[in-house]
Amino acid sequence: MNITLKPISQPDGRSELSGTAAGCIAVGIHEGGVLTQEARSLDAEGAITLAVESGDISGKTGSTLMLRQPPGVSAQRVLLVGLGKSGSLGEKAFRSGVRDALHCFSKIGARDAVLALPFEQVEGRDLHWALRHVVQAVHDMDYRPDSLKSEKDARPAGIRDLVLPLTPTDAARQTLAQAEAMAKGSIYARELGDLPPNICTPTYLVGRAQALAQEYGFGLQVLGPKEMAELKMHSFLAVAGGSEEQPALAVLQHRGGETGDAPIVLVGKGLTFDSGGISLKPGASMDEMKYDMCGAAAVLGVFRALGELNLPLNVIGMIAVCENMPSGRAVKPGDIVTSMSGLSIEVLNTDAEGRLVLCDALSYAARFKPRALIDIATLTGACVVALGHHNSGLFTRADAPHEELAADLLQAGRETGDPAWRMPLDDVYAEQLKSNFADLANIGSPGGGAVVAAAFLERFTRGQLWAHLDIAGTAWRTGKDKGATGRPVPMLTHYLCTRAGGQST
C-alpha cells in the first residue's frame, strides 16, 4: 500500500475533505454522537448526524459504519470509525481506530482512500508518533506468512493508495521515510522468524546477511568453526557441537559515520532451532523453538532499515547462529567449557544455551570498541513470566552512562509502540551463578531467572556500555495468531535514528 501526505484544507484552515474525490474517506466518531472535526466537515447535509442519531454506530472503539455516497461529499464512501469516549483520545483508541479503518479499506472495491483521523490529538503523543503507528499498521496488515503454501491465502482487493491529510513538512516527510524503513525492517524480521527450521538454518541466515551486504554495500565478515576455534570460542562451539549444521558468527558493518567513530554494536542470538539439547524440552509447542533466532532476525531487520535510510552512523550487526540439538557430540550437563574471555563455565542445563553462545559473541564485539553494545535474545521463559507478551525486558547496569542508555532505549520503545520494561540487575543476582568447579555456572539457584541470565551476560561485557534485551515474550505470538512480530526492530531503528541526529521531533 502506498502512503502519501497531502494537505486537504483551504488557506483559511477550513477542510476541503467534502470536495475530495476518493474511493473512501475514514473519519472518527466518539461515543455520545460526538463528531471529530474531520467528521463535521463531511456532515454539511446531516448524513453523518442522522446515522449517529439513528443508532447505526455507537462511537465505541471497534464500531464502524460505511456510508455510500452521502450527499454533499465527493468521495464514493465515508467510513465512520468509533474512537471511544469523547473528551480525550488515548493511544489504545487511536490504534484501534487505525486498525479498524485499514481492515474496512481492505474489503472495499476502491483503489484509494483518505484516513482522516485526528492524528495530532492523541493524548501524550505527537504527529510523528501517529505517523509511525499508521505506517507500521499498514505493513503489518499487508504481511502474509503463506509463502510456502501451495494455495496462497486470497489477498484482499482493497485500496492500494492511502492518503493522510497532513501537510508534508520536512519533519513529517522524514518521519514517514523512517517509519517506512522501520516497518520494512520489522516485516523482514517477521519473514525470517516464520520460516521453518529446515529452511532457516544457520547457513541460510548467513546467506541472508550476505544478500543484505551485497544489496546495500555493507561490509561483511563470516567466522566459521575454524576461525571460532582459533579465537577459543569454546562456549559457543559447545552448544553447536550436537548439530550437523555448522555454526557461524556473521558480522555486518554499516559505515555511515566518520572513519574512526566508535560504532554501535548489535548482537543477535540466532538459535535457528533449540531442542534444549541433552536437557530436552517438552514436546508441546517445541515447534515454536524455531523462533529462538528472532534476536538475529531483528539485527538483520535493523540492517534492512539501515540500508534504506543510510544513516550517518557506524553500526555493526553480529548474528551468532547455530542449532542446539541432542547427539553423541552434544554438550552435557556437568561439562565445563572455557569461553573466549577465559572464564570457565559449568554447564548445568544445556537448555540455557543462548547465554553460552552470546558470551563469546559479546567478547568478540569488544574488539570494535563500541560506543554502545546491545544484545537481543529470546533468552528466558522467566522473562515471559515476569512481563508477559507486552514488554521486552531491558537490563543494564545502574551507573550514569547506563541509565542514559536505558532511558534512550525505553523512549525509543515508547515512540514506536515497541515497549520495554527496565528490570533490575543488582550484584546479588550474580551470586546465584557461583560454581564449585568453574568460574560460574550457566544457570543459577531458583528465582529471578531472567535477571540471573542477564547477570551471566554482564560478566562478559565489563568495560562496555551495554544493554540486554530479552525478547522471549515479544518476538512471537502463540495461539491462532501464531507468528513472529518483528520486535524489537522498531525500537532499535528509532534508537539509531536518534543517535544519528536524524529524528524529527
Which domains, and CATH codes, for the chain?
Answer: 2-165 (3.40.220.10), 186-499 (3.40.630.10)
Is 355 one of the annotated active-site residues of the chain? yes
Nearest-Å Rg of the Cα atoms of the chain is 25
pLDDT of residue 151: 86
Smallest CA-to-CA distance from 452 within 349, 299, 366 is with 349
Mean pLDDT by 10-residue block, N- to C-terminus, for the chain (505 residues)? Answer: 85 72 96 95 94 94 96 96 94 97 94 96 95 97 91 80 95 96 98 98 98 98 98 98 98 96 98 98 96 98 97 98 98 98 98 98 98 98 97 97 98 97 96 97 96 98 97 96 97 97 50
pLDDT of residue 11: 53
Beta strands in 31-182 (DSSP E): 34-35, 64-68, 77-82, 112-116, 161-164
pLDDT of residue 157: 72
pTM of the full structure = 0.96
Q: Which of 281, 414, 422, 482 is catalytic?
A: 281
DSSP string, 392-409: EEEEE-SSHHHHHHHHHH
Q: Which of 355, 397, 487, 499 is catalytic?
A: 355
Query: What angle is formed at CA 316 by the lines to CA 310 and CA 319, rounded to 5 degrees?
Result: 120
pLDDT of residue 504: 39
